[in-house]
Amino acid sequence: MIFVVGKDGYNLCGFVGMFDWKREADAEQMMTGMSAAIRHRGPDDSQYLRKDGFHIAFRRLSIIDLDTGAQPFTSEDGRFTAVFNGEIYNYRDLRKPLQEEGISFRTNSEIEVIVALYRKYGPEFIGMLRGMFAILIYDAQEKSVFAGRDYFGIKPLYYRVTDEAVLFASEMKAFLFDGEYGEFKVDPSMLQHYFTFQYVPEPHTLTPGISVLEAAHYMTVNCNGRVQMKRYFSPDFQKPSEESFEEKAKKLRKILTESVEYHMISDVEVGTFLSSGIDSAVITAIASRLNPGIKALTVGFDVASYSEVDDAHEIAKHLNVDHIVLKGNCQQFRDAFEKVVFALDSPVADPSTVAIYMIAREAASHVKVMLSGEGSDELFAGYKTYRDSLGAGRFEDAPGFVKTACRGLSHVIPDGVKGKNFLMRAGMPLEERYVGNAFLFNEKQKKAFLKCYNPNQSYTELTRPYYDQVADRDPLIKMQHIDIATWLKGDILVKGDRLSMGNSLEVRVPFLDKEVFKFASTLKNSDKLQNGTTKYILRYAFQDYVDPATFMRPKLGYPVPVRVWLRNELYEWARDIIKNSKADAFVDTQAALKMLEDHRTGKADNYRKLWSILVFITWYRLYIAEADKTRERILRGELSYSQRNAWFDRGEKH
């Protein structure tokens, strides 16, 4: 196994903070409530500190009892107080030159290196870090606060600015305890975007006044309440490398192996999530060479064609890893639903969220850190939607009557039927037909059930600035750029962090390393997409690591049988949620029930649309309609971290 020697502390944690520049607030009680809302991020220890107008409450999961790495951390001269959530994989490399300059360190912790770098370089130090992180630093001399977030948005950081203060939190649910501002509302424009994208794109949330500090940004707040924001890194695709394909494949193998090795540095045992696809297979293969016999976990469901267990087992057998399988069923799925919606902060209408929550819960009973394959699809062009959209784009130069015929034909095909969306998008400009990996409701469909629908609002207003950034690039690069800027941050990484941390489990993503991205950004399109094969260079580079079947297997991505269940086992459950909705000011109940009935009878395939409505209705109940009850449940620990629940069958080894 790979362990770091002498590392102080463990960074599975969360924090809430407030900078009150008028220094009038007695915020300890509020901080206590906000901290309770994120107890799952660190259930073993809680610390509160006030310095001038700066308040911080920190939660930590104790893996090793080392006080020297404790947070909040205060510099020896008392000037800087800091907290951070995440991992800095190159902190030893960064500490060494500081020591050579005569700077001494009291601990062997990452947080002390962060403070030393901030003292020496100021805010721009953040670009030197390699890892995943959310950082908060108070400077008692300047009476200012610095907040920063990692390159891709792996670790979350929310904030709210008022006339007197700025508040920070690792999760949005903490703001339920934000005194007079603790009553959440719905931003109608963001709700409309949610029903397009299946999530609310950064830096927005569904709640007015609460924002996400965007990935690759930092913000500073001075003693007069002036807030400044700056981007410190842009995930730009570079001019394609002229190296041979073989040279690039060898380089990818080296860089990704190094990244996995960095991500396995830990005080505790590390495992991997293993599906049937190439991404998790490659990560598990590399990890198993570094740590033979590593634990690999898979989730599957008892419905034909909705389980990756058999294929994952073949991969595990080929790699000779310790394979643990969680076999889920409809009742377990249903029982987890409310906790999943609560954990996500903002609605994310992705049915895989429940499967991820279930496997994270199982993983937490075996290890405390897991490696996952997120980010590979965005960096190496792994989504089938890229191929489909490029195909639809071939109609752009077609005669007008051909485009009209395609769109007319799309109107007579029932919703959800394969080919409908392709025909509907045929000939449309890329900026209109591709707004990210998911597209739920078109404008006509939203108007039919969304009571706050605004016909003057377009989903393209959120994606247009990102398209402008790559206006001179080819369509594939444009789509990858859009997904990194929206889908990756708003869906993929939100699921990964909230649903793992909701079970006090840390998930690390070796593909989303800045050195891996730096390499991927120089690839030619033919390196990524070749003869219809996605992620071609990744498959080629590691073909001798995985079994031949895995080499070409298409992506499934936590398949869950919601489509089937909503016609059968989950039909009455879904109907009751819609009928008892407290969100009828926003969602037309009768329209939603008709959508459900059309799905049940097979008239339409509405499962993704229905799922988005069920998630929103439940989110609205938890965060708005029954917010007082939710606060009470948080304080009782009902919605936060708890020991394994009885409804999970013990994972079985294969």
What is the CA 619 to chain-centroid distance, rounded?
Answer: 18
Task: Name the 3-class secondary structure at 230.
Answer: strand
CB atoms within 10 A of CB 216: 21
Angle at CA of residue 369, ends 363 and 371, nearest 5°: 90
CA distances from 603 to 172, 379, 409 (A): 38, 38, 17
Which tokens in the block code for residue 580? 């008892």
Query: Counting Cβ atoms within 10 Å, is residue 571 exposed (0-12), middle (13-18) or buried (19+)?
Result: middle
- Of 301, 282, 303, which Cα lies nearest the Cα of 358? 301
What is the CA 146 to chain-centroid distance, rounded?
Answer: 23
**Burial call 292-331: b when 16+ CB within 10 Å, e when fewer:** eebbbbbbbbebeebbbbebbbbbbebbebbbbbbebbbe
103, 116 contact by CB (below 8 A): yes
Which tokens in the block code for residue 190? 């963001």
619, 340 contact by CB (below 8 A): no
560, 301 contact by CB (below 8 A): yes
CB atoms within 10 A of CB 265: 18
Which residue in the block uniquely carries the two structure tokens 């999943």? 340
217, 148 contact by CB (below 8 A): yes
Cα–Cα distance measured from residue 78 to residue 75, given in angstroms and rounded to the nearest whole number:
5
Residue at 241: amino acid letter: S
426, 407 contact by CB (below 8 A): yes
Residue at 53: amino acid letter: G
Task: Name 85's bridge partners.
Answer: 134
Active site residue 13: yes
Which residue in the block uniquely carries the two structure tokens 């926003």? 586
So which residues are the catalytic ones?
13
